[in-house]
Amino acid sequence: MSQQSVLLNRAGRPKDQAKRKAVLEAAKCLFLRKGYEGSSMDAIAAEAGVSKLTIYNHFSDKATLFSEAITAKCDEQLPERLFEFCPKASVESVLLMIGRNYYELISSQEAVELQRIVVAMANQEPRLARMFYEAGAQHMVREMSKLLIQATHADRLRVENPGKAAERFFCLLKGDDYFRVLIGICPPLVGEEAEQHVREVVGLFMNLYRCS
């Protein structure tokens, strides 16, 4: 096998990647419109314009497809490059960028609806709930922890427990209003209010972990 063939196999053929993306988009649309139980693999295949076999070539089952759809949504809004530590950039500016993108992600109607779906079926589908957590919240905490470790090693922050600090950061960004958003009694913050909220959270975080 030629080196070019090896590289193509590793990257995946463009046509296959296009089909995979189409399946993920179709899955997100149907899960939001009909819920998890109401979205069959046949319906997702029809929505994506592919065969059901094509779906199973990329995803082992519907739960895995759901988890991958969550991961794709998070990667769109919070790609791993946002968590890269740059010695030349201020830590505060990096946290502000992460904070803005995270708050925009959790405030989107798509994310709110997905959260409601998982909470509603958590007792019946604990595996699905765990996959949702691992693909979303846990993944972001892990990436944030790596950033905090690097910032601490560079004497830019003083964080003794990066995992807990990362959890606190995202919990502060959600704030007390997030539960009310989930149950539909208030809208998420937007515009200047959202920006002010993110800046206050980053300010509190920096005051807590800044090197003295």
d(CA 50, CA 11): 21
Give residues with Cβ within 8 angstroms of 57, minimum separation 6.
none
Q: Where are the beta strands (DSSP E) in the chain?
A: none
Cα 183 to Cα 36: distance, rounded to the nearest angstrom: 19
Return the pLDDT at 118: 86
Q: Which residues contact 61 (CB under 8 A, 6 or more apart)?
A: none
In sequence order, which residues have a C-beta less than 8 Å from that of residue 167 and are 6 or more positions away? 141
Of 93, 94, 187, nearest to 147 (Cα)?
94
- Classify domain 3-59 at the CATH superfamily level: Homeodomain-like (1.10.10.60)
Please report which helix (H) or strand (E) contains residue 166, including its range.
helix 162-174
The distance from CA 121 to its chain's CA centroid, rounded to whole angstroms, is 20
Say which CATH architecture domain 70-209 belongs to: Orthogonal Bundle (1.10)
pLDDT given at position 11: 44
Per-residue pLDDT, 190:
94
The one-character DSSP state at 137 is I
CA–CA gap between residue 32 and residue 131 (Å, rounded): 17
Which pLDDT does position 13 carry in this prediction?
Answer: 60
pTM of the model: 0.81
Residue 13 CA, chain-centre distance (Å), reads 25
Walk along the chain (212 residues) in steps of 10 and give the mean pLDDT of each run: 43 71 89 84 93 92 86 78 88 96 90 87 86 87 96 95 97 92 93 97 96 76
* Maximum separation of any 2 CA atoms in the chain, in Å: 60
The pLDDT score that the predictor gives to residue 14 is: 57
Backbone phi, psi, residue 188, to 5°: -70, 160
pLDDT of res. 5? 44
Q: Domain-by-domain residue ranges, the chain? A: 3-59, 70-209
Chain-centroid distance of CA 17 in Å reads 20
